[in-house]
Structure formats: C-alpha cells, structure tokens
Structure 1
Amino acid sequence: MKFIDFFSGIGGFHSGLERAGMECVGWCEFDKFAQASYRAMYDTTNLWFGNDVTKVKGWELPKADLWTFGFPCQDVSIAGKQKGMKEGTRSGLFYEIMRLLDECKENKPKWLVCENVKNLLSIDNGTGFLNVIGEMAERGYSIEWKVYNSKDYGVPQNRERVYIVGYYGERCSRELLPIRRENQSTIDQIGNLTENKGFGGNPQSGRVYSVSGVSPTINTCGGGNLEVKVLIKNATKTGYLEAKVGDGIDLAYPDSETRRGRVQPQQSNTLTTSDNLGVLVDDESIRIRKLTPKEYWRLQGFSDEQFEKAAAINSNSQLYKQAGNAVTVNVVEEIGKHIMKIENEVKK
C-alpha cells in the first residue's frame, strides 16, 4: 500500500506506516524546521512534496491507497483557545483535505487516517466532530473512530488521541480500527516546583514525576522550563544519570546540567527550588531533571537514530516542539498493520 503524509510534521505517520509495511509516495508540511527534520530522517528524493496544503491541487497528487492527516489541533485542544472546527482557523485546515478529495475525483484514496486531540469529540458541543465525520461521509467514506492512549502501545506516555479512519466504497465488513489495548500503568506525580507553578500559563511546568510511572502528555513546548520533569534517586555526581521510565524508556542526561535546590520539610508534597531551573533536591543523591529532547522523541516512539539526524540540524526548542506535535509512531504502526491485514483479506 502507498500513502501520502499530509501535515506530516516529523513523520510519525511515515515511520509507523512504514513499519507496518506501507510505502510513502508524498508528503506535505508547512513548517520549515519540521521539513528539515523530515528530509534528514527519510529518503525524500523521489517523493511528491507540497509545502502549503492550501496551494496544492488534487490533480497534482500521486496515486495513493491511503492519506494521513493529523491536522493542526490548536483550535480544538484544551490548551488552546478552542475556536472550534471552522474554516479559516488552523484546525479548519481539515477542509483543505476535503477540497483535495473533491479535486481528485476518481483518484480518491481508498483509506483515510486522521488524528487529533481527544477534545475534538466534544468541541462546540460535539458539532465540530460531527462536521468532521460528516464531511468524510459525504465523500463516500465509511467512518470509524476510537481513542487510543500511547501508554498502551509500548511507550510510557499518557497521551490520548482520537483516530478516525475512512474506507471508500462499499462498506467494509471488518472493523476499520484495531481493538484497543490496555496498560494499567499510571502517572505518578510526586511534587510541584512551587516557584514555577503556572509558569508560562502551563500548570504542568512545575510538576515533578517519578520515573517509575508514566509520563504525562508531552506538549509542544519549545523549552523555557515547560518540559516534563522527573525525580531521580541515587544520582551520581559525574557522568550520566540513567533510569528507566514506565515500560523501559531509557533516560540519560549529563550531570553538568544540575542546579541546586532544597526540600521544605513542612511541605511534604511540594518541592521548592532555589532558582527557576532548580534540579538538585535535598542532597546529591536526589535530583530533579527536565526530560531531554531525545527522551521526548523516545516517548513518541522515534528511534535514537532518527533523533540524532534531526538534532544535527535543529535547536533543542524545535526538537521539543516537533516531538510534542507528532503522532505516536507505535499507535500508527498498530493501525497500519490492521489496515494491511484487511487489505490482504480482501485480495484473497
């Protein structure tokens, strides 16, 4: 199966569907820094490319069996202004995909796979979501949707996202999406850096988590102390601090990044620091650390090799942002394998 990767970012769909046995034939991404990472991570030499979906024409597109589009979530995310699914908004770029389907006519893809934040289901009292599936249905697609949590698919990140799949033509007798897995691992918040609470309008900026639990949803921060923070016990003074989070994501960061802080005994649930980036707590054997860009990428299922290629040409702030904007590779792989299985059964 061949696919086109719209709103591609750093290619979470690309990586996941490739692992499932599919082939990318084209991609579209507006952000120049994400474009740079994408080109570094994948062989794009012979792929169709569009840098602005609003200027792409349907008849220009290569033939593909599947289109992916994790369209921008800013206007439906709880963290955003929640303007809703309206044309002219960032999230309204969804309608550009509908336009392309109309322009493709007989060249429509058999499958559509769409991803967005869970809040898409309830924005505008549910009318935004109904508009999304209604627009897809009007163009001949049978629709199915499910909410998947990344923590159930081999990465220790609590990330709930809604995935919508469309199947063109006669209704498919099989379920279009795989059955949800379940992992009982939970987020373990162990304190709050009170001086940083609410820093930048993001309450997560001051929270501290245990490496024995699951990371909260990583966001699109560009650094600035908004990164997820974890507490490491029995830390060493030199070299690298290493630990494992949840299902086995390695953490490793240089000891030189530490800053001193203190614990207030009368506030057993609250950690306070001597500066805005305080990362050493109590004594030299306990440290609070921001997750590094590489760890953010690991939490989304990207390989270290992919990260290193992107890191060679991008700043840390861009790497944080790119990971936060990405879809989780492992979840996409599961969906891709399910679709491939359906296709193979149909061909028999």
Structure 2
Amino acid sequence: MGGTTCIDLFAGIGGIRRGFETIGAKCVFTSEWNKYCNETYAANYPRDKHQIIGDITKVDAKDIPDHDVLLAGFPCQPFSIAGVSKNLSLGREHGFKHATQGTLFFDVARIIHEKQPDAFLLENVKNLVSHDKGNTFKAIYHTLHDELGYDVKYKIIDAQHFVPQHRERIYIVGFKNTTDFTFEDVDLPIRGPKLSTILHPEDGSQPAEEPYTVGENAVVNEKYILTPHLWQYLQDYKERHRAKGNGFGYGLVTGDDIARTLSARYGKDGSEILISRGEGNIPRRLTPRECARLMGYPDSFKIPVSDCQAYRQFGNSVAVPVIRTIAKAMKPYL
C-alpha cells in the first residue's frame, strides 16, 4: 500500500489528499488556481517535490505523472448528456468530449482517459444530483461508467457523523476493474460530536493562539464578536422573514448543538453559525481555527492567510474525516 500514488485536482487546501495520506498514499501532482489556497497548501505540504500547477485546463494530460488514484473536488457546472450516445462520429471512447466540453469536469474526464488510474474519488455538492433536472449528474455518470468504463458507485454522506456540522456532499468512487467496493463498508458513526469539541474552551486549558485567542486563559479575541450594528441587522432580517413565514436568518448555536453548513461566504457576517455568549451578550463568529476543526483538520494545520481567505478556504473544503473513512474502505482494492 505504501507505493500508492495519487494526484490532487482542484485541490483547494488539500483536504481530500490529507484523507488519503492516512492510508499511505503519496501525492505526485497538485493543481489549484487560487493563489491564497496555494499559500496554505504549500505551508502544510512542504515536503512535496512537485510544484503546484495553476490552470488545469492548460495542462496536457500526457504531462501528468502516472498515478494510482485521481482525487478531485471539481466545481459543479451545467452540461447535458443529450445526444452524446448517438454521436458515434466522435468514437465511443471520446464521446465524453461532446457532453462535457467547456466544463472543468471535462478536465477530470480527459485525465482519467489518458492516464487510466486504478481508481478515483470525486467530491461535489449534494445538489449535483438534482442540478439541471438531473442532466448534469447523468452526463457525469455516463462519462465515467459508459464512456471511460469505470465501475462507479456514489453516495451522499452528511459529515455530521464525524464533525459537529450538517454538511451533505456526494462522493463518487470509481475503479477501473470491477471490485466488491461498496459504500456499505464506509463506517459512519451513529452519533457524531457536538460543537463543544471544536470551540475554544477559554479556560486556559489550551494555549493562546493569536490572533484567534489571547491572554492567559486563551479567550477568543474580541474582534470575532459581532458589532452591535451587525447583530441588530441580523435580528431585524430574521424577524422580517419570520413574519412572512420564512425560515431565513442567522443560526445561533451553543456547544451542545450541531452547526449548519460552513460556507465560503462565512467571513461576510458569520450568520449561518453564530456562537452564543449567553443571554444578553452579542454572539460571535467562529475563529478560523475553529473552522479548521469543524472541517476535521488538526490544530497542527497551518493557517498562513488572512481571516477572510481562511473562512473561504475552510468553507470550500471537504470534511477530512469523511474522506479518510472512504479511503479506508477503498484501500483493499487499490
């Protein structure tokens, strides 16, 4: 197993790769266009012997190293399967080009086609299944299974089995050869942790990590407390929608709760996950370190970027423990 290699496409800050490293996989190629993600990635994987490649659309698949597993959290974009199977003039093995040209999934498909990895894991938002009335996912499945010939399984998994956050994502696993892999072998704990497990205790039991926590008791920096103006705005906004019968508005939680999905826009106002500071006190947003924990990253994970970029990166990331568990289930077939 120690010889297993992987490539990390649309890598973000390396969450999918991190999950596979726990089963001994070695990353031999990384592609990510965002310079701030690259800064975080490089800080946490300093031993990589390869440079991070920016725009994958400009990379010839032949120039990508051979690898056993392709990993990708590709963006969700619209395309249709309509007419693909009838387009025999393109040749069956190239039919996916007709269906997916102009999307970033096309780059995943062309690399799989050229490099023929033993397996792949793709991750995307839950809505991929229903996107464009289901046509997007049909085209993806058709491409991976019918055109590229992989044995494909998929499942929507909520990360709350592992972290205190509702986060439903679709995971698509493919093997070049037929295997006995099943998502039934992916071990999902019945009861996941509560938010208290990722919040700063603020009692001195953990060392201060500036700028997130300060002082002898490592209390959360006051800058993460909402301004009175923003707090009033969020309360008014929620009340307006409540009066209309809508459920829109902020999510106020305590350490005994499970959070809503952390999004890339969290840094804007933090409204989806506001941490209660007790009756009569203005709540606060999560610190970037707490966001890292909420996604299953260890405290040793370096955060070299601004809070704004860190919120975006963790909001766009995968829940690492979910990937780790899927990788463990895939391991016997690699």
Q: TM-score range by the shorter chain?
A: 0.7 to 0.9
Q: Do structure 1's residue 304 and structure 2's residue 262 form an aligned pair?
A: no
Aligned residue pairs, count: 268
- TM-score, normalising length: structure 1: 0.70
Contact 1:58–1:100 under 8 Å retained in 2: yes
Q: Do structure 1's residue 175 and structure 2's residue 154 form an aligned pair?
A: no
Structure 2 unaligned segments of length 5 or more: list them: 80-98, 196-230, 241-246
Question: Are the structure 2 counterparts of residues 174 and 187 from structure 1 closer, same or farther at C-alpha, using a change threshold of 3 Å?
Answer: closer
Q: How many angstroms apart in 2 are the aligned matches of 1:17 and 1:177?
A: 19
Q: Do structure 1's residue 13 and structure 2's residue 57 form an aligned pair?
A: no
Q: Do structure 1's residue 125 and structure 2's residue 136 form an aligned pair?
A: no
Q: State which of 219, 235, 251 in structure 2 corresponds to 1:194.
A: 235
**Higher strand content, 1 or 2:** 1
Contact 1:208–1:231 under 8 Å retained in 2: yes
Contact 2:69–2:119 under 8 Å retained in 1: yes
Counterpart of 2:108 in structure 1 is 97
Counterpart of 1:207 in structure 2 is 251
Q: How many angstroms apart in 1 are the aligned matches of 2:12 and 2:186?
A: 27
User: Alpha carbon RMSD of aligned pairs, Å?
Assistant: 2.8
- Aligned residues: percent identity? 31
Q: How many angstroms apart in 2 are the aligned matches of 1:186 and 1:44?
A: 32
Contact 2:275–2:283 under 8 Å retained in 1: yes
User: Aligned-pair distance for 1:226?
Assistant: 3.2
Structure 1 unaligned segments of length 5 or more: list them: 77-84, 234-280, 344-348
User: Aligned-pair distance for 1:149?
Assistant: 1.0
Q: How does 1:1-348 map to 2 (within 5 A)?
A: 1-47=4-50, 49-73=52-76, 87-88=101-102, 92-102=103-113, 104=114, 107-137=115-145, 138-153=147-162, 155-169=163-177, 171-175=178-182, 178-179=185-186, 181-183=188-190, 193-197=234-238, 206-221=250-265, 223-227=267-271, 228-233=273-278, 281-282=279-280, 286-306=281-301, 309-310=302-303, 312=304, 314-343=305-334
Q: How many angstroms apart in 1 are the aligned matches of 2:39 and 2:333?
A: 34
User: Aligned-pair distance for 1:157?
Assistant: 0.9
- Superposed CA deviations along residues 70-120 of structure 1, whole A, max 9, x for unmatched, are 0124769xxxxxxxx9644xxx31111112223x2xx31110100001111
Secondary structure, aligned partner of 1:71: coil
Contact 2:254–2:276 under 8 Å retained in 1: yes
Q: How many angstroms apart in 1 are the aligned matches of 2:187 and 2:260?
A: 19
- TM-score, normalising length: structure 2: 0.73
- Superposed CA deviations along residues 267-325 of structure 1, whole A, max 9, x for unmatched, are xxxxxxxxxxxxxx52xxx552211111111110111121xx22x3x110000000011
